[in-house]
Amino acid sequence: MPEIAVTAAEATDAERNAVADSIMLQDPGQISFDAAGPALTFDGDRIARSGQERIFNRRHLLLPVLHDVRDAIGWLSEGGMNEIATALQVPPAEVYGVASFYELFTFEAPSTPDALHVCDDTACRIQGANELKAELSADGYDVHGSPCLGLCEQAPAVFVQRTGEAHVSVRSATKETVVAAIGGAMTNPVAPVPQPAEELTLLRRVHDAAAVDYDGYVVTGGYEALAKAVAMSPAEVVTHVGDAGLTGRGGAAFPTGFKWSAVAGEPGPRHLVVNADESEPGTFKDRVMMEHDPYSLIEAMTIGGYAMGAEQGWIYIRGEYPEATRQLKSVIAEARSKGMLGDNVGGHGFRFDIELRLGAGAYICGEETALLNSIEGYRGEPRNKPPFPTTHGLFGQPTAINNVETMVNVNQIMLLGGEGYATVGTEKSTGTKLFCLSGHVANPGVYEVTYGATLREVIELAGGATGNLKSILMGGAAGSFIGTDMMDVPLTIEDSRENGFALGSGVVMLLNDTVDYDDFVARIAQFFRDESCGQCVPCRVGTVRQGESLLRIREKGSPIDTERKMLDDFAMVMKDSSICGLGHTASGAILSAIDLGLIGGQQ
């Protein structure tokens, strides 16, 4: 890699300082990568070292540095990006290519220092988000529509992206609370978990405000799971996870034990990555875990690191989760100071540390290989598989990627033993499951039930639907609508599959007969259009074409049969030929809405 040439635009002093500070302050905890090594070194005017390896040492700092410069300055200027390109030795065209991929970065000086990202996605949309957006715009604020902010149970939600100050999310937002947040008012998240502690397993600590620091966590049984784990060999831990029958809770339901043993069997160095880029519209369970019981995640990851011999853990959290980010930052630092992360975890003789990375507004980065590219400092474009991350993951090394909820289950497996864990739930769906109830429901929030509970039981836990329930969106935008005839289907992996829908990330969004389905479904189509990374043709164009088709149905009265043929063709090619799951699932909700007669005239 040659020394990078940049355009003539120069950085301001403030931008220069922001870049320097950012690089200097990068998390000192990471073990595997030398962030401190300069991209180029000189000895006087006669000796220089550049060459092929240099760029890769620092490329992975690109996203954190972009964040820091944007947060200090309010936007990314040409000069600022040139400074980043020079400091990291990443070609400026690629700096721009990466930065422009993400929603949270802008390239023109904003009119006000605070950007307001108002969620106008599914759940917030039916709770007055558009009206709030209009109100704030009218008052001259820098308002951006946003995809789901993961605060569906406290809709409508606004993410306040401030400059030079901490970001904040405003829940159950009104114009007044948003204005207060711009002025510096912070949110104190309240656990939106209506169930009492005794009904909860994974979520049992969320009502206990003290559990977010080390002592409080230990008092409530924290780090007992790790103690059980290190009493076994790493291979035995993996076996327990396999025996438990744990499957991925992020949507794909892949057996976790299988993934772990594959990674453990590969030559190191290995990585454990937690996918906390919770962006599926209607999903907020991971946020609740991270805000109210962050140590559980740290402990579970530590067990994973021990089990797979992965010395470096990574949490990739979405950029719109400021409160959860602050909690994780705080507990990672505290765990380090307590010796529970670092060279000799808890005195157990193994190394494990965690690096926290922030997304910057891209749903696709929840796709595991896009997430890896994002961490590495590239555009969040999914990779082709095979090879899979278990062999060629982060930085090309063996990597296990698990969702937050999946990960936290590992603690439970250690406490119960694999076989003990497997007795909970059904034969094929073991353990408990978190569901995110939102929309037209009496008590929206996260609910934890043992696998096997029916949809009706889950809805009743939340106090039932409000109004006249017409359909339920299961699994989020990537899921599908189902009718009330499905109320008695047990919410297990196997039963849902048999009935033609997927649990996905656990979204249960209730929609009564007041919903404007044409608008609602159009928003889903718009969501996929906005969030497609654009890498492959089927998804880049298909997500646009299906939105146009819906528009023709809605505004031009185009016959449903004509459009249905087109929509089926779009769905086929996206499902069969797209690179990743986004394209594969982008048409499911739309087609199911037509099948149920929710849009396209009465059937």
Partner 1 sequence: MTFVDIPVEIRSKVTISVDGEAVDVLEGDTILDACTKAGKTTPTVCYGPTVTPVNACRVCVVELEGSRTLVPSCSRPAEEGMVVKTDTDRVTDNRKMVLEFLATSSDVSQSDEIQGWLGDYKADLDRYDAATTERMTDEVKIEDDLYIRAYDRCVLCYKCVEACGEDAQWTFAIAMSGRGFNNRISTEFDVTLPDSACVYCGNCVAVCPTNALQFKTEFDLRKMGDWRPEDQSVTRTVCSYCGVGCNLDLHVQDNQIVKVDSPMDHSITSGNLCVKGRFGYQYVQNRPDK
Partner 2 sequence: MWGSNAREAHPIFFHHVLKGIRNGAKMLSVDPRRSQTAKFADLWLGLNVGTDIALANGVGKYIVDNNLQNDEFIAHSTQGLDAYIESIQEWTLERTAEVTGLPEYAIAELAEAYATAESAQICWTLGITEHHTGAENVMALCNLSLLTGHVGRYGSGLVPVRGQNNVQGGGDMGALPNKLTGFQDVANDEIRAKFEAAWDCTIPAKPGLHLTLMFEAMEKGELTTVFCIGENPADSEADINHARALLEGLDMLVVQDIFLTRTAEMADVVLPASAGWAETEGTVTNSERRVQRSRKALDPPGDAKDDLEIINMIAEAMQPGWGNPSPEEMWDELRTVSPMHAGMSWERLEEHGGLQWPCPTLDHPGTLYLHGWLWDDDLGGREPAPFTVNEWRPHVDELNDDFPLLMTTGRVLDSYNTGVQSDGYNSPIRSGEALDMNPADAKRLGLVTGDRAEVSSRRATIEMEIRVQPDLPVGLCFTTYHFADTTDTNQLTIEAWDKKSGTAEFKATAINVKPLVAA
Tell whether residue 568 is a contact of partner 2 (CB under 8 A). no
Rounded CA gap, 101 and 361, in Å?
Answer: 9
Per-position x/- string for 45-84, each x denoting binding to partner 1 as judged by CB under 8 A, each - no binding? ---------------------------------x--xx--
Name which position in 62, 86, 88, 101 contacts partner 1 (CB under 8 A): 101
Identify what 468 binds: partner 2, partner 1, none; CB under 5 to 8 Å per kind.
none
Residue 48: CB minimum distance to partner 2, A: 4
The H-or-E segment that residue 524 falls in is helix 517-531
Q: Which is nearer to partner 1, 218 or 544 (CB)?
A: 544
Per-position x/- string for 11-50, each x denoting binding to partner 2 as judged by CB under 8 A, each - no binding? --------------------------------xxxxxxxx
State the angle between helix axes of 256-264 and 404-416 in degrees (0 to 180), rounded to the nearest 10: 90
Residues with Cβ within 8 Å of 211's Cβ and at least 6 positions away in sequence, in order, are 205, 217, 220, 222, 292, 293, 295
Q: Which is nearer to partner 1, 185 or 544 (CB)?
A: 544
Tell whether residue 52 is a contact of partner 2 (CB under 8 A). yes
Q: Which is nearer to partner 1, 49 or 385 (CB)?
A: 385
Residue 44: CB minimum distance to partner 1, A: 27
Spatial contact of 261 and 253, defined as CB atoms under 8 Å apart: no
Identify what 45 binds: partner 2, partner 1, none; CB under 5 to 8 Å per kind.
partner 2
Window 335-364: residues binding partner 1 (CB under 8 A):
362
Q: Which amino acid is at 239?
A: T
Rounded CA gap, 479 and 472, in Å?
Answer: 10
269 Ramachandran zone, left/alpha/beta (phi>0; psi -120 to 50): beta
Name which position in 579, 589, 594, 599 contacts partner 1 (CB under 8 A): 579
Number of residues this chain uses to bind partner 2 (CB under 8 A) = 14
Rounded CA gap, 271 and 293, in Å?
Answer: 23
Phi, psi of 370 (to 5 degrees): -65, -40
Rounded CA gap, 132 and 153, in Å?
Answer: 17
The H-or-E segment that residue 574 falls in is helix 560-577
Q: Which is nearer to partner 2, 110 or 396 (CB)?
A: 396
Sign for the CA dihedral angle at 416, 421, 423, 425 comes to: positive
Rounded CA gap, 121 and 104, in Å?
Answer: 17
Tell whether residue 91 is a contact of partner 1 (CB under 8 A). yes
Identify what 3 binds: partner 2, partner 1, none; CB under 5 to 8 Å per kind.
partner 2
Tell whether residue 109 is a contact of partner 2 (CB under 8 A). no
Spatial contact of 192 and 444, defined as CB atoms under 8 Å apart: yes
Residue 529: CB minimum distance to partner 1, A: 6
Q: Which residues bind partner 1 (CB under 8 A)?
A: 1-2, 4-9, 78, 81-82, 85, 91-97, 100-102, 107, 362, 379, 384, 529-538, 540-545, 548, 551-552, 556, 558, 566, 569-570, 572-573, 575-579, 584
Interaction site with partner 2 (CB under 8 A):
1-3, 43-53
